[in-house]
Structure 1
Amino acid sequence: MPRPDSTLHQRPVSDRQSLWTLAILSALMAFASISTDLYLPASPAMADALHADSGQVELTISGYLIGFSLGQLLWGPIGDRYGRRLPIALGLVLFIIGSAGCAMSGTADAMIAWRAVQAVGACSSVVLARAMVRDLYAGHRAAQMLSTLMTVMAIAPLLGPSVGGLILQVASWRAIFWTLVLLGLGTLALLRILPETLPTHRRNPEPVHRALHRYSLLLRNRRVLGYIGTGGFFYGGMYAYIAGTPFAYISYHHVSPQQYGVLFALGIVGIMLTNQLNSRWVARQGSDRLMGLGTGSAALAALWLAVDAWADWGGLAGLVIPLFLFVSATGFIVANSIVGALGEVPEFAGAMSALVGSLQYGTGILGSGLVAAFADGTPRPMAGVIAVFGIASALCARWLVPLQNSNLALGQAGEDLIPRENA
């Protein structure tokens, strides 16, 4: 049974509207990174104030990822049924409450719990912003727009650690979370001018509780598994990097929080560069080919990092250089893996975006959790986790994605997902 032509659903977007929409979607997608990156330089100070060790502070990232991963499974189907704007607004309210709770936490356990609440709210913005891109664009154009979004939103993590370091110079780490409260309030106000991209006639009337069944059908598609595995394992390595570098750089190599912000910013510059290259090349080279290029280079960089960390070669530069190469591969991996998965079943962009994001960040939980579990005061656990996940990402891209007749690969699972009134 053929699928409805997704191009029939695309809406013409004026240049002015496109610019505003791009700016707001960038802000919404930035919540995933700014919520963590802003307080990274404060990690050692938080450990002292909360009487916690480095592993417990690293678990605040895992707690965030748990909320972020599971929350997406809820927001995606809600967005498919009720539209995009209302669920985003509700999520921003939760984000504000969670950020305030983090600012007032007195123990590491309380911080981990409030970080989970914060994440459940933040993920509504991210998962539905991706779905809004798919509402408006298709094919390589969607990959181009998502790459552009990621380039623009990279300003947030680029500035995040540096701004967090500046806040620490004039206030305590708690002021960082109050800053996030203000950012949430500002974005909530900005949401008023964001157009609704999912009109009523395109919404899915099915009850939200059927989403779990739909997720199981989506996971029967081998290409979907390939795209999710490629992006997911890479995310596991990225969050191992996020959880491990504050202690690897600040505690082990004795750089200042401000210098850490600069080193972290180098990786964001690499992400911005490769996202721009991806946006320019994807129409000619194809998203799958560029995704394979990214995963291959990331795996090689991860192996280089592991060798340097375990042999203690190169000092600080022995970590910074391969980590820069690993992180820079984001521009070729993330946008292409997301667009590839969304393209399999465009009729359920919200649910697919939720599934992709949930499983990607789920491996992020695993990556950051493994770094925390094996923390020994050296960069070795971080490097080992990044190497394992980098290789797994490359294997998924190589062995699961390159299938012929991708539309037919959906098979019966895809047919079951299409509402009968559209069939």
Structure 2
Amino acid sequence: MKTSPSWIDEFPARIAELDRVHLRRKRRVVVPEGGARLQVDGQSMLAFCSNDYLGLAGHPALVEAACAGARAFGVGSGASPLVSGHSMANAALEEELARFTQLPRALYFYAGYATNIGIVPALVGEGDALFSDALNHACLIDGARLSRAHIHRYAHGDLAALEAALAQSPARRKLVISDAVFSMDGDIADIPALLALCERYDALLLLDDAHGFGVLGPQGRGSLAHFELAGPNASRRVLYMATLGKAAGVAGAFVAGDDALVEWLLQKTRSYTFATAAPPLLASALCESLALIETEQWRRDHLSRLIARLREGLAIALQGTPWTLGESTTAIQALVIGPNDEALAVMEGLRERGLWVPAIRPPTVPEGTARLRIALSAAHSEADVDRLLQALAELAPRILKMSLENLDVHCL
């Protein structure tokens, strides 16, 4: 008897299709070399791809704090926070995070992705309405899908469209979700306007400040503080989420806001209730990190100078090219190339020059907007930025010529 081929046999062909459209990803084995340098698959490189925006990931004080935490608490937490995993170190970190963000209460999670995919379904469900910016991070999108609420996806930053959707929604419970700093473009959401709409239409606002925490606002307190919406001006309509593996240099995430809202999330978030708590040694390192973020303003000042230097240099280097630089004042600078193969060619050209700037392609970004996501860090020097600018200026005409030649061949 003849049997039909199994669908499992299709995977090699499906992987080959990823290769054909230049969408197959490859992991690189990295070893930190200090500062902004990494050994990548055995090659020493200057990296512009890390979210370690303040250069704290390898800081000796954080390393020592983690070691002291391991000596005091061991390596693992052993259980869910609601069983026996809520250590003294984790409790102290939550208090420190609430103080730092100037919000009533904070809840510490083991990972950022797990935070958003858990708290969104804990807030809204079937029969409720959810409003999501089109360029939100995947964890917010997945959390929205898991919630089973009716999803309204509005064009990026289109507050008129958001207001129209809010006004038309008959749902009693409405949740607006948005990145505070958008991860692939680096632009900052209009948080005061988002909050005003939530006030007008009785909605709750969930902000993901993964890329603003530690960098924006006085003492790096984040996007809410940047817009003077923390402390005495904090609204009970805002839940503030941020990750701790980027500017803070360690790992994990937290959500902060009104005491009753945070208590509800503690009780109802499945990715909190049913997951092993983060190891206490990480909380020990994070308390040290918060102290450095708060007191070492020079890191943000230096980062601001690097951002300005890069943007000024790219404005010159990109003249005569179809490549565009996104409108961003943050550490994330998006150099939009367009075609996947062209972005990969620029990435490879930089790699040959000892620079690591990975190409970002769909589905992470929209079709036709493959790009270099240049991530700056306080660990970079001005000379590092100048080296990247020189390499891009050399590569641009060569890559564009190659693309035109390929186009001519395809048109024959």
TM-score, L = length of structure 1: 0.28
Q: Which has the higher strand share?
A: 2
Q: Which has the higher helix share?
A: 1
Between Structure 1 and Structure 2, whose CA radius of gyration is higher?
A: 2
RCO comparison, higher one (Cα < 8 Å, 6+):
1
